[in-house]
Structure 1
Amino acid sequence: MTRSQSSMTKPARPEDEKLGLGASFAYGFQHVLTMYGGIIAVPLIVGQAAGMDTAEIGLLITACLFMGGLATLLQTIGIPFFGSQLPLVQGVSFAGVATMVAIVNGDGGIQSVFGSVIAASVIGLAITPLFSKIIRFFPPVVTGTVITTIGLTLMPVTANWAMGGNSQAPDYGSPANIGLAGLTLVIVLLLSKLGNATVSRLSILLAIVIGTIVALAFGMTDFSQVGVGPVAAFPAPFHFGMPTFHLAAIISMLIVILVTLVETSADILAVSDIVETKVTSRRLGDGLRADMLSSAVSPIFGSFTQSAFAQNVGLVAVTGIKSRFVVAAGGVILVVLGLMPVMGRVVAAVPTAVLGGAGIVLFGTVAASGIRTLSAVNYKNNMNLIIVATSIGFGVIPIAAPTFYDQFPDWFATIFHSGISSSAVMAIVLNLLFNHFKRGNSENPSVFAEAAERRISPEVLGLLKHGDRCEEGKLIDAEGNEIPLLEADPQH
């Protein structure tokens, strides 16, 4: 084998692996299915708040799919100064929903939302060099904490999906919906256990397809609306009117942009840990700039702020497919869905409960990846354990009690209503306080520190035999007989 052939087979970076066209689009379609519900949720909510009719909301969804695909291509393929070249799927950020609805309800209209997104994203683009310099403040104790919290934050999403997705529907939380989610989960596990390497990696996609077929057989999904509406349509620039710029709306949206920068930084570091590749300050900055550029351009076509989707980080961990070109293929699919609403309607017919069953594995894997990172952290004679404990607890608060910050100022609630940003802020601050500004740290950390390390000598280990065990302070051999202990030497 020549040197060039070897480099093609085994690229220098895991994310640069090329799997072939068919495999790339098959795995890429899994990414689209995983994030499809999330990407259409934002235009649905904002469109309804703006009083749009069904046709206009449909155009809003199409624009979000189209821009999500372009943003994904920019992030994965990259151009000079833009794009982390990591397997990250981009889409409309859910972090800004409350703020956008507030702007719409405040007589600003959808045009004010678009204007605030453009202005705040341009400001965000200008400050990305500052964010890219903070990578040294993201050691494993911080990244592991944030990755774990990302997984925990996504669990209510998959629970809602498993119950049916629409809390107003009469069958929300029904045994049928939860049973369909459970069946999908079982199929994922069976395919992962019994299938060959290809089937195992495609287990999420295959389980969703099989679950949808089962749902169709029992009348739990409807494909009759697939043919209703245009087959193809291009998102027209400024279809919803020219953006308007109001200072209060821009300031509110700027807070959302800061939260997005924090969350995207966490996602970039999380996926780099899963892919096992190095992320430099420059590469992090390129990823953040891609986010901000995509967000600034999105309103032209009727979309909103763009951000990396944390649920797709879980899919990378589950499948072990680290190639950025697979995610780029998913970006192409999103662009096609944005140009062909009929394809979007096919994907939309997949029952939410099916996605919920798959989401249990996907999102749980994100949390497990964070725990794996935390297992490599040194907890001896430092405050790392209390950093992890406090930060995860702080991040879980908005998950366990979504209304916890409702009485706080809007800017504060916007930042800390997200468990991911709450955990990230706390982990960064505590890491700085305890590991960088060490003045005042106790030489013997608090009761939260790790227990003393246990060791035995090689001589003692060599005397033990197979089946020996310790019970209630006594050493017992394989036959159940007590092994006598030597009396302590009073000289020692």
Structure 2
Amino acid sequence: MQTAVTPPSAAPRRVHPVDEVLPIPQLAAYGFQHVLAFYAGAVLVPIILAGALGLSSEQLIHLINADLFTCGIASILQAWGLGKVGVRLPLLQGVTFTAVSPMIAIGLAAGGGVTGLLQIYGSVLVAGLFTFFAAPYFARLIRFFPPIVTGSVILIIGIALLPVAANDIVVGKGPNAIQNPVLLKNCLYAFGTLALIVLIQRVFRGFMATVAVLLGLVVGTLVAWALGDAHFDKVAGSAWFGYTSPFYFGMPTFSITAILSMLIVMCITMVETTGDVYATGEIVRKRIGSEDIARAIRADGAATFLGGVFNSFPYTCFAENVGLVRLTQVKSRWVVVAAGFIMIVLGSLPKAAAIVEGIPHPVLGGAALAMFAAVAVVGVQTLSKVDFNDHRNIVILGTSLGLGMLVTAQPFVTTAFPSWAEIVFGSGITLGALTAILLNIVFNHLGGSAHTAVAGRPGSLVSLDQVNSMSRKEFDATFGPLVQNMDWVLARAFDLRPFENTHALRTAFQNTLLTGTVDEQAALMKAFPDLGSDGDGANGYLLDHEKAGMTATSQEDVAAMARAYRAQFGFPLIISARDAHYERMVSQGWQRLGNAPAVERAAALVEMARIANYRFDDLVADANPIVTARMRAFDAGPATAH
């Protein structure tokens, strides 16, 4: 009897985790979790904007409903997809914080209130159309937005938004602000909310940690309500169900300067979205191409246009929810689709919006402080990928950050400029972002290739271009001391040219060293002198000893231990002395005599990589005077003689 075999064509096709449709209960639970993690950030923008423009409580409630309703549509469009619109990844959409300062500037310039709101909506409509049609072209310009630009922009966004939170904390402005002449009370509400958020994130993990901001807002508001400082009078008078009608506040108005400002915002938003798409693609293990970027940005444009119609604002991917995908490892995009439907339902409940409207501003300010600071931290994380041994990157970050903070700290500087320029100079985010983009083009795309010094000493520096055109002999002479002049390491690193930047050059040596054969690595180990000897001063051991705090007496102790080690294993004891004080080195060295030879060979390999890394830092610092001065400032302490 033969067993039936399923033909290959009938074999079940494995579904990528992104496209997996989970059971409805799981979709609902995970989708609601996304909404909880997103909710506080989602309603911050309309609350902040309403307070700045002087809108009424009823108008704020409608803005919150419109925001949630359109967020739901935008998220479904991005995750579900429609033709060439939507990247079809678990990316939840929300109003971008980048637009907050520019929208406030646009609204106030138009006179505030509903009049200012209508001019904002006019610029949002145009910006949405622009983003939609610019998507495929922008996807080809990714090279103009390296980490130095995106990191600078995100850092400036976070820092520039902090004064908004500070204003709510200290002043407590707003329709339901705490009317208390004692400023300390407002500060206590804010600090208490912030402290609770930090405590939850410290004590809890997983889901509870992701909703720390929401819990902080809830508890802070309940405390203020118990003390008579939070009021929810509007809740009883609000309808249970409602809907967002197009152009509820009237027909939008259009201003050239407002539109230009919002176009700049959307260019920055496109950069943010690109970063979020790449990050999500890495989490879900799905390769991202230029067409994916184009589809994601088209969804941003379509959602932003809908925002202008349905009384909401510009949209982008929410980084908070990208982090939630990484944390939970729930990769299905249909979870975000479920979250979108939940938000549409919440956006149709005016009573829910009325509850949110009653949050006291100092409580909101404490939560906003944590969220805006977290945005700045994301900028710092992005900047960690930047090679700051390249002086151009220092100039780009320093100049853009300085100009952005100038306008943020002294907003009245805009009065020095013509009215048409006030939109650009009236926002630290806009000015800082433009500066970063333009300086990156000037320094990295105009006038030929880079001439960053990566080796040598002032007066005899070696640029990256020169490294890439060196002969083998010149390469060995420059970088040989990093690896004890070992030929096989230098030969393989040399073959990896051209190097794009200093980081690539450093990585070439690290990867080569760690991937050598057993015999090659053994030869490199034996090229190191015994720890504590003075025969390798030119190659860094004497400097290592100084950093480790060795004296002549302590060096003798280390040398005795190193001789015993060589006698035991047949190769020298290799320790990166700069990572440990000599007393710890001696203690650990004697203990390691009991290890197996294979364990010690592996340990030696790691230590050699560390030593090479430190030597590379010394080489780069010598080639870059500004970096050298900065590092010496950090190293400076009480004067000591070596």
Deviation at 1:342, TM superposition (A): 0.6
The equivalences for 1:37-436 within 5 A come to: 37-42=44-49, 48=55, 55=58, 58-59=61-62, 61-84=64-87, 85=89, 87-91=91-95, 93-94=99-100, 95-103=102-110, 117-119=124-126, 121-163=128-170, 165-166=172-173, 170-171=179-180, 174-241=183-250, 243=251, 249-272=254-277, 275=280, 277=282, 280-301=289-310, 303-308=311-316, 312-314=318-320, 316-317=322-323, 320-321=326-327, 331-380=340-389, 383-436=392-445
Looking at structure 2, the residues matched to 244 and 216 of structure 1 have their Cα atoms a distance apart, in angstroms, of 37
Deviation at 1:369, TM superposition (A): 2.5
Deviations 1:122-161 (A, max 9, x none): 3453334333332121112222222222222232233234
Looking at structure 1, the residues matched to 195 and 117 of structure 2 have their Cα atoms a distance apart, in angstroms, of 43
Deviations 1:77-118 (A, max 9, x none): 432222344634323843334334544679988767655654
- How many residues align? The count is 463
Change (3 A) 1:64 1:140: closer
Looking at structure 1, the residues matched to 363 and 381 of structure 2 have their Cα atoms a distance apart, in angstroms, of 28
Answer with 56-65 or 102-111: which moved more.
Answer: 102-111
On the 8 A contact 1:274/1:369 being kept in 2, the answer is no
Which 5+ residue runs of structure 1 have no aligned equivalent?
487-492
Q: Using CA pairs under 8 Å that are at least 6 residues apart, name the structure with larger relative contact order, 1 or 2.
A: 1
Looking at structure 2, the residues matched to 197 and 347 of structure 1 have their Cα atoms a distance apart, in angstroms, of 25
The aligned amino acid for 2:231 is D
The aligned amino acid for 2:91 is P
DSSP 3-state at the match of 1:403: helix
Answer with 155-164 or 107-116: which moved more.
Answer: 107-116
Deviations 1:57-89 (A, max 9, x none): 654554344334323432344322223446343
Looking at structure 2, the residues matched to 257 and 43 of structure 1 have their Cα atoms a distance apart, in angstroms, of 18
DSSP 3-state at the match of 2:273: helix
Looking at structure 2, the residues matched to 66 and 35 of structure 1 have their Cα atoms a distance apart, in angstroms, of 11
The aligned amino acid for 2:188 is G
**Match for residue 531 of structure 2 among 459, 463, 484:** 463
DSSP 3-state at the match of 2:416: coil
Change (3 A) 1:198 1:239: closer
On the 8 A contact 2:178/2:360 being kept in 1, the answer is no
Looking at structure 1, the residues matched to 224 and 112 of structure 2 have their Cα atoms a distance apart, in angstroms, of 38
Looking at structure 1, the residues matched to 356 and 60 of structure 2 have their Cα atoms a distance apart, in angstroms, of 17
Looking at structure 2, the residues matched to 406 and 76 of structure 1 have their Cα atoms a distance apart, in angstroms, of 44
**Match for residue 23 of structure 1 among 30, 39, 58:** 30
Change (3 A) 1:437 1:237: closer
Looking at structure 1, the residues matched to 529 and 241 of structure 2 have their Cα atoms a distance apart, in angstroms, of 72
Greater helix proportion: 2
Looking at structure 2, the residues matched to 57 and 180 of structure 1 have their Cα atoms a distance apart, in angstroms, of 22
Deviation at 1:461, TM superposition (A): 8.8
Answer with 356-365 or 165-174: which moved more.
Answer: 165-174
On the 8 A contact 2:258/2:423 being kept in 1, the answer is no
DSSP 3-state at the match of 1:227: helix
On the 8 A contact 2:123/2:255 being kept in 1, the answer is yes
On the 8 A contact 1:398/1:417 being kept in 2, the answer is yes
Which 5+ residue runs of structure 2 have no aligned equivalent?
1-10, 462-477, 485-524, 534-540, 560-642
Deviation at 1:429, TM superposition (A): 1.9
Deviations 1:201-239 (A, max 9, x none): 333333333333333333332234321222212223444
Superposition TM-score, scaled by structure 1 size: 0.76
The aligned amino acid for 2:276 is V
DSSP 3-state at the match of 2:386: coil
On the 8 A contact 2:42/2:68 being kept in 1, the answer is no
DSSP 3-state at the match of 1:90: strand
The aligned amino acid for 1:389 is G
Paired position in structure 1 for 2:522: none
On the 8 A contact 1:147/1:367 being kept in 2, the answer is yes
Paired position in structure 2 for 1:437: 446
The aligned amino acid for 1:80 is G
Deviation at 1:390, TM superposition (A): 1.9
DSSP 3-state at the match of 1:308: strand
Q: RMSD across aligned C-alpha pairs, in angstroms?
A: 4.4
Deviation at 1:25, TM superposition (A): 0.7
Paired position in structure 2 for 1:489: none
Looking at structure 1, the residues matched to 181 and 264 of structure 2 have their Cα atoms a distance apart, in angstroms, of 31
Deviation at 1:325, TM superposition (A): 5.7
Change (3 A) 1:352 1:114: closer
Change (3 A) 1:125 1:172: farther
Deviations 1:305-352 (A, max 9, x none): 42337xx53565489547666665554444233311111112223333
On the 8 A contact 1:103/1:113 being kept in 2, the answer is no
Change (3 A) 1:367 1:105: closer
Larger Rg: 2
On the 8 A contact 1:164/1:173 being kept in 2, the answer is no
The aligned amino acid for 2:256 is I
Looking at structure 1, the residues matched to 414 and 389 of structure 2 have their Cα atoms a distance apart, in angstroms, of 35
Change (3 A) 1:99 1:377: closer
The aligned amino acid for 1:385 is I
Change (3 A) 1:374 1:455: farther
On the 8 A contact 2:217/2:363 being kept in 1, the answer is yes
The aligned amino acid for 2:262 is I
The aligned amino acid for 1:214 is V
Looking at structure 1, the residues matched to 252 and 258 of structure 2 have their Cα atoms a distance apart, in angstroms, of 14
The aligned amino acid for 1:34 is G
